[in-house]
Amino acid sequence: MVKKARRGRPPGSKNKKKVGRPAGVKGLTKNFAKMEVGQLRSFIANLEDVLAAKVQQQREYLQGQLDGLAVYANNKVAKAVRAVMMIPKKGKRRKAEPKYQSKKDKNLKWAGRGMLPVWMREEMKGTKLTKEDFAIK
């Protein structure tokens, strides 16, 4: 059975809410010139209340956005400070301690880094000696 393609918005998309009239502000089409002073004052008071509520709602939304940005900025600043504080060392490293020593000449030593030294190759040639046999104990 072939499924028909859905028309319109995809599922999960936000539907736009229709903007209606705020509560207490019905009948804006009334002629204000025909209204009495008391009615106009109550109408203005209702509008001021609605405006105050909207301003408060916007203020809360923007304060939430600012708080989120403050957290983001603090994380970025902390990361930058950590990067600046990690000053690279400029000194030299000490030499690696020797791990291997020649059996014939005790002055010949090797730390085990890089290529196998010539003296070790020469001493191992033709014998059953391995690298571990030259290890310093």
Q: Which residue has the higher pLDDT, 45 or 23?
A: 45
Give the model's confidence band at 57: pLDDT under 50 very low, under 70 low, under 90 confident, else very high.
Answer: very high
Distance separating alpha carbons of residues 21 and 47, to the nearest angstrom = 11
Q: What is the pLDDT of residue 9?
A: 75
Looking at the fold, whether 115 and 76 belong to one and the same domain comes out as no
| Shared domain check, 108 and 69 | no
**Residues 77 and 104 grouped into a single domain:** no
* Mean local confidence (pLDDT), 108-126: 93
Task: For the chain, give the mean pLDDT.
Answer: 84
Query: How confident is residue 124, by pLDDT bands cut at 50, 70 and 90?
Result: very high
Please indicate, yes or no, if residue 90 is contained in any of the structural domains. no
Do the domain assignments include residue 16?
no
Q: Say yes or no: 72 and 105 in one domain.
A: no
> Do the domain assignments include residue 54?
yes
pLDDT classification of 25: cutoffs 50, 70, 90: low
Residue 71 has pLDDT above 70, yes or no: yes
Residue 41 falls within a domain, yes or no? Answer: yes
Asked if residue 112 belongs to a domain, the reply is: yes
Q: How confident is the model at residue 65 (pLDDT cuts 50, 70, 90)?
A: very high
CA distance 122 to 94: 29
> Does any domain span residue 25?
no
Q: Tell me: the pLDDT tens digits for 73-85? A: 988 888 888 888 8
Q: What is the pLDDT of residue 23?
A: 54
Asked if the structure places residue 10 within a domain, the reply is: no
**Separation CA 98–CA 114 (nearest Å):** 12
User: 41 with 77, same domain?
Assistant: yes
Strands (E), 1-137: 100-101, 109-110
Contact 100, 131 (CB under 8 A): yes
Same domain, 79 and 42: yes
Same domain, 68 and 105: no
- For residue 95, tell me if it sits in a domain: no
The first and second tokens of residue 66, run together, are 């600012």
Percent of the chain with pLDDT over 70: 84
Residue-number span of the structural domain to which 47 is assigned? 32-85
Say how many domains are in the chain: 2
Residue 27 phi/psi, 5-degree rounding, is 75, 45
Q: Any idea what the Cα angle at residue 17 is, between residues 15 and 19, rounded to 5°?
A: 160
Q: Are 79 and 113 in a shared domain?
A: no
